[in-house]
Chains A and B, each alone.
Chain A
Amino acid sequence: MQELTSQLVQKPSRVIVQDRKTKYTGRNIRWEGVFKRSLVITALSVLVLVVGIFITLVVQSIPSIKALGIGYLTGKTWDPVSDIYGAWPFLLGTLLTSFLALIISIPFSFAIAVYLGEYRPTGWLSGFLKNVVELIAAVPSVIYGFWALVTLVPLVRKLESAIGVAPYGVGIFSASIVLAIMIIPYAASLGRELIQMVPSSLKEGAYSLGGTQYEVIRDVVMPYTKSGMFAGVLLSLGRALGETMAVTMVIGNTSLIPDSIFSPGNTMASVIANEFTEADRAVYLSALIELGLVLFLVTVVINMIGKSIIKRFTHE
C-alpha cells in the first residue's frame, strides 16, 4: 500500500489528464454555444408568448369590431338570441364589483399592513397573521365561490329582505364581498413591505418630538408610503377585474343592467366563462373575445402603472 502511494505520487498522471481534458474541452465548447442560444430562445419565447396573446385577441375580435363598432362598448342590451350585442352591462358589472370589493378590502389590508409592518413585525401572533394571509391567497377561487354560494349568499339574502330589497342573495354585493376577501393579501403584503422600508431615522425623529405612535403612522409612515400604497391598491384592482370563478358562481349571471348593488349581474370575465362555449355565431363569439381583449388591455395598463410606481418607490 505504501509502495503504491509513493508510486502514484512520483509519477503524476498529468499527461493522461491533460489528454482527457482536451477531449472533454472540445465537447464542452460545442455545448456552450447551444446553451447560450437556448437561453436566448426561451427569453425570446416569453416575449413572443405575450405578443402572441395580444395578436390572437385582436385578430379574433375583428369580426365583432367590424360588425358592432365602438357602440358595442356602450350598448345597453345583450341579447345574443336576437343578435344584439352591447357590453355596457358587463363593463358596469365589472366596475361595480371591483370597486366595491376594493373599498371593502382597503381597511382590512391597510390594518394588516400596519400591524405587520409597524406594530409587530415579529412574534408568533404576527406569524399567525402572515400565515392566514398567505392561506387566503392560496385558497382556489372555485372554493371561495362554492363556500360563498352555500354560506354567504343566504346571509346576504337575509340582509336584503331585512332592508327591503329583492332578496336574490346572489348578485353584485355578494360577489364584491368574496372578491374583497380574495384581494386583501395582495395589498396587505405589499403594504407591509413598504411600511418596513420607512427609514427608522424618520420615525425616531418624530418620536423624539413627542409624537404618539398613531401620529407617527399618520404623519411619517403614511406620507412616506403614499405612492406605494396607491400602487398596491391598483394591483389588487387588477386582480379583482380579472377574477372569474368565484364571481361567476355568486353574481347571478344576468345580462341586464344592474340597478343597485344588490341586483344580480355579470362581469366581463363571468360572461365569458358562462357563454364562450355556447357562442354559436361568429359575431357572438367574437364579441365575447372582444371583452377578453378589453379585460387584457385594462389589466395590463393597471398592472404596468402599479408596477412602475413600485419600482420608482423602491429605487428611491
Chain B
Amino acid sequence: MATNEKAVMKEEKDPSKLTIKKEPDQGENKKRNRTRGKAVKNDKTEMKPITQYFPLRRSTRRVKSLMEEEKTSEIIRKLEHKIEDGLKVIETDGKGRGVVATRTFHKDELICEYSGELISYREAVQREQEYSKDSGIGCYMYYFEFQSKKLCVDATTDNKRMGRLVNHSKTKPNVITKLIPVEDHPYLCLMAARTVSPGEELVYDYGERKKDIIKHHQWLTS
C-alpha cells in the first residue's frame, strides 16, 4: 500500500479559527425522491445537482416544542382549508350514514372538524325545541363550554362535511373530541384516540349521560 513519497515531520499548527460541533445521530429516511430526467434541448448537455436525486436528510431528533408547534400548525392548516381527506361516507346497518377511514390515522391526528353553526346556549335550546317537533330531524347539537361560556355547534343543516356524520360509540370509541381555539374561534375537532386503520368506522362517545334521553335512545349505550 505504501507509495514512495517521503514526507518530513514537523510540528505545525493550523491558525484557522475553528469550533467543535456535536451532532446527534441521523435518522433513517429512505424516502426516494428521484426526479425524472426530462430531456433538455440545448447545445450543451445538462446536469442536475446530486441533491435532485438524493433527498436531504434532516435529523429526526427535534426539539419537542418544535414538534408540537408543527403539529398544531398542521391542524390549523387543515381546519382553515377544511381538509377532510382519508374519509368516506358509508351507509351503515341501522345507524344511517357513517364515516370510515380510507387511510391510517395516527393517534392524536386531526380527522375532521365537527362543523356547523356556532351558536349560544340559549339559541341552541330554542332551536332544539323547534327541531324536536319534527321527528325527521336527527340530533346534531354539540354543546360545549369555551372561555367559560356555554356554546353549541348546530350541524343540523347538511353542510356536506364529514364531522356531523360520525357515529356514536360509548364502549369502543376510536375518536375523541377536542376543542381547539384558533384566534378565539373554537373548533370542535375529532381526533384519533388511537391508531385508526383504513376501513374502520370512526366513532366517538357523544357524551350523553341523562337517563331519560338514554331511555329514548337505547343506541347511546352501545
Asked if A and B bind, the verdict is no
Chain B positions near chain A (C-beta within 8 angstroms)? none
